[in-house]
Structure 1
Amino acid sequence: MTAATLGLSIGEAIPERRLTSNGHSGSMQLNGKRVRVDISESGVQALVDHDKPLLVELELYFSCLVRKQIRFSELPEDPEAGDGSARIMKGLYASFRAICTAHCRIDETDGTPLTETLPVKKPNLFVPDWLKLDFRSGRWLGEYGFKNNL
């Protein structure tokens, strides 16, 4: 299934005041782990107004440094069960993967470095504890994180 990329969100904080009772709060099972999900009211409305499913890809990106990023993609249809994604609500799905660059030398890359999916033996240890989504100024924003009590 080919997905059309809608955007990338890196490090955008979503303030609690954006996550009102008119939004969506719930959870999903992602790679065997329960993840809390909060979506702003404008995010829920953007999903209602959109006619195609949205895939939220949570990536833990290992390169010279570790970076958390979220990729938003439009899907031509709802994904099939067992494809590695989890349903959050009607028209909204999420997936997770840990990736790394082939090497860390910036001078050896022409634009975007080649990446590969890390062969993680226990992916639930890398899956975040929470996900926040928002839709502002015509674009999707996302933030995810981990509990502080390790």
Structure 2
Amino acid sequence: MISALEDTKGAANQSGEGPGARRHPIQVRLTAGAERALAVHPTPLLVELELLFSCLIRKRVRFPAAPHADAIPVPGTDPRLTLYFHPVCTKVCAIGDAEVPDLLTFPIRRVTPFIPRAVTLDYRKSGWTGDFSYPQERR
């Protein structure tokens, strides 16, 4: 029997077959500060795109030293970045940007529609910041 999480990872990593499997690389937008910081960064920058499902939905871009064990690798348009998508949920309703204790990986059956289509990164004195979005595809 396949667990929901295994199914999620499989769905995210499908090549081109199956419903919802058609996926393009995440469009990467970098500010001038991010370009300068990446130019001197010795290895690809690890970027985790976290989508929190609670009583509200929260988007967060994280820059961890290592990806979460359940994070899903996703393609991007910039080889200087290593991108991961991590859908999570909480045990109780949590509102705000504060750290949420006891985050659980959210078992999405068809993860492809939830994977962001674009990420914007910036680097300032305080460090890396970012946001991700779901712009409409032109047809």
Question: Counterpart in 2 of 1:65?
Answer: 56
Pairing of 1:58-137 with structure 2 (within 5 A): 58-74=49-65, 84-86=73-75, 88-104=77-93, 112-137=100-125
Higher fraction of strand? 1
Unaligned runs of 5+ in 1: 1-29, 76-82
Q: What TM-score, normalized by structure 1, do the two folds share?
A: 0.61
Once the two structures are superposed, residues 83-110 of structure 1 have per-residue CA deviations (whole angstroms, 9 ceiling, x without a partner) of 724354344111112100122279xxxx
Contact kept, 8 Å, 2:94 with 2:100, in 1: the verdict is no
Distance 1:144 1:120 in 2: 19
Distance 1:87 1:119 in 2: 23
Aligned length: 109
Contact kept, 8 Å, 1:59 with 1:97, in 2: the verdict is yes
Distance 2:94 2:35 in 1: 40
Unaligned runs of 5+ in 2: 1-11, 14-20, 67-71
AA of the residue aligned to 1:97: H
Once the two structures are superposed, residues 9-47 of structure 1 have per-residue CA deviations (whole angstroms, 9 ceiling, x without a partner) of xxxxxxxxxxxxxxxxxxxxx855222211112212211
Contact kept, 8 Å, 2:117 with 2:133, in 1: the verdict is yes
137-146 or 85-94: which moved more? 85-94
Tell me the percent identity.
Answer: 34
Q: What TM-score, normalized by structure 2, do the two folds share?
A: 0.65
Contact kept, 8 Å, 1:133 with 1:141, in 2: the verdict is yes
